[in-house]
Amino acid sequence: MEGNHMKGAKYILTVAVIAMSSVMMTGCFKPSKDAVVESKYYQSLKDERDKLSVQLKEEKKKTSSLNKKIKAIHATSGDQKIADYKSRVKDSRIIKVDFATNTIKNQSFAVTNIPVCKYVKKIVTGCNRMIGITPTDVEKQYKQSYSYALIDEDNTTFEFKVYGDSYIVFDEIPENVYAYNGASTVGDALIDAKEQKNYSNVAARIADAQIVVTDKKMKFNDTAIKVSKIIEKAKKLSGKDAILDTASWNEYRFYTSGTLTKILLGDRTVIGIEDKNGKQTFYQISDKQKKNLKKYISDVPPYEKTVIRRCMFMIGDRRLPVFSIVL
């Protein structure tokens, strides 16, 4: 009898060991997927999730609608702001413009030249708003930017940044982007380029000048190219002919990516070219070349053809021709 009990105990122990081994091998007991899905706890979590999803969609709609309203407000207020801003700049007498770039630290260029000041003023008053472009877009697209600061006689400052060739973001209207074709031209001309180009001769450097400046006029690269072609054909002087007093000669300043080259023009058919270090070199040109040179860089606008209009005037039964001259 006792032996049977021992056998039964051994059997139960064996079964328990096998069961424990099975659990150890397969892991803890896990309910089936269907059982989990059908459980009240799962259903309550699912209902809560669905409820939150609906709320999230509603919040997204509200946010989208709010963003549209904000953009509309920015557009309206931005249009009013730029109109007021342009009016203030237009009524101001700009006496100086400071230029700087984000690619070269601690470098700026201050200009008091009237034609340059007028041109930068024109950038502000003549710019137009760009739709569908944000300040973030232009900041990401263009690594380099220029900072322009217009300063009037009351020391009021109007500041903006220029991206690429034309994009503008005003400090006072940071939410919108504006554009003016060639807004970067003056910055390109006056600020040192990060990588300076090597030129084989002075004519090539002049040909790349972004602006040509006198005290009365500012011209652009098309003028510089025309002048460079005359310089290419000019004969370099040496010896006594290369020592001249240019104090009374007219001065024309060519700015090429931060480098200044001056062309000096007097009464003779000789021109002087002064490099950035002040060294002067003289060249002989023909009468025709001098005439063309003066036409290209003169402060006086080119002579316009006279237009003669023929009109008919009635005196009694007679029709008499009357000529009017339009200059």
154 Cβ neighbours under 8 A, 6+ residues apart = 92
The residue type found at 33 is K
Decide: 260 and 253 in contact? Cβ < 8 Å.
yes
Helix (H) or strand (E) holding 293: helix 287-297
pLDDT digits (tens, 9 = 90+) for 107-150: 888 999 999 999 999 999 999 999 999 999 999 999 999 999 99
Of the pLDDT bands very low, low, confident and very high (cuts 50, 70, 90), residue 196 is: confident
Annotate 107-148 with three-state secondary structure: CEEEECCHHHHHHHHHHHHHCEEECCCCHHHHHHHCCCEEEE
Write down the pLDDT at residue 159.
Answer: 98
274 pLDDT higher than 80: yes
Q: Which two tokens mark 221?
A: 């690269």
Higher pLDDT, 229 or 327: 229
Cα–Cα distance measured from residue 128 to residue 17, given in angstroms and rounded to the nearest whole number:
86
Write down the pLDDT at residue 74.
Answer: 52
Predicted TM-score (pTM) of the model is 0.69
pLDDT digits (tens, 9 = 90+) for 275-301: 999 999 999 999 999 999 999 998 655
Please state, as a whole number, how many other Cβ atoms lie within 10 Å of the Cβ of residue 231.
22
DSSP β-bridge partners for residue 94: 152
Instruction: Please compute the mean of the pLDDT values over residues 200-227 and round it to a whole number.
Output: 96
Write down the pLDDT at residue 306.
Answer: 38
Nearest residue to 74 via CA among 135, 120, 32: 135
Higher pLDDT, 18 or 250: 250
pLDDT digits (tens, 9 = 90+) for 67-86: 665 555 555 556 899 999 99
Nearest residue to 73 via CA among 162, 65, 238: 65
Instruction: Please compute the mean of the pLDDT values over residues 39-58 and round it to a whole number.
Output: 83
133 Cβ neighbours under 8 A, 6+ residues apart = 167, 177
Write down the pLDDT at residue 58.
Answer: 83
The per-residue DSSP string of 167-218 comes to: EEEETTEEEEEEE-TTTTHHHHHHSPPSSPPP-SSHHHHHHT-SEEE-SS-E
Higher pLDDT, 9 or 148: 148
Cα–Cα distance measured from residue 283 to residue 260, given in angstroms and rounded to the nearest whole number:
18
DSSP, collapsed to helix, strand or coil, labels residue 137 as helix
Write down the pLDDT at residue 305.
Answer: 37
Of the pLDDT bands very low, low, confident and very high (cuts 50, 70, 90), residue 237 is: very high
Rg, Å, the chain Cα set = 40
Cα–Cα distance measured from residue 121 to residue 97, given in angstroms and rounded to the nearest whole number:
9
Decide: 57 and 49 in contact? Cβ < 8 Å.
no
Of the pLDDT bands very low, low, confident and very high (cuts 50, 70, 90), residue 63 is: confident
What is the end-to-end Cα distance of the chain in Å, rounded? 142
DSSP code of 103?
Answer: T
Helix (H) or strand (E) holding 310: strand 307-315
Cα–Cα distance measured from residue 296 to residue 253, given in angstroms and rounded to the nearest whole number:
13
- Location of structure tokens 């472009």: 133
For the chain, give the percent of residues with pLDDT over 70: 76
Instruction: Please compute the mean of the pLDDT values over residues 13-24 and round it to a whole number.
Output: 48
Of the pLDDT bands very low, low, confident and very high (cuts 50, 70, 90), residue 65 is: low
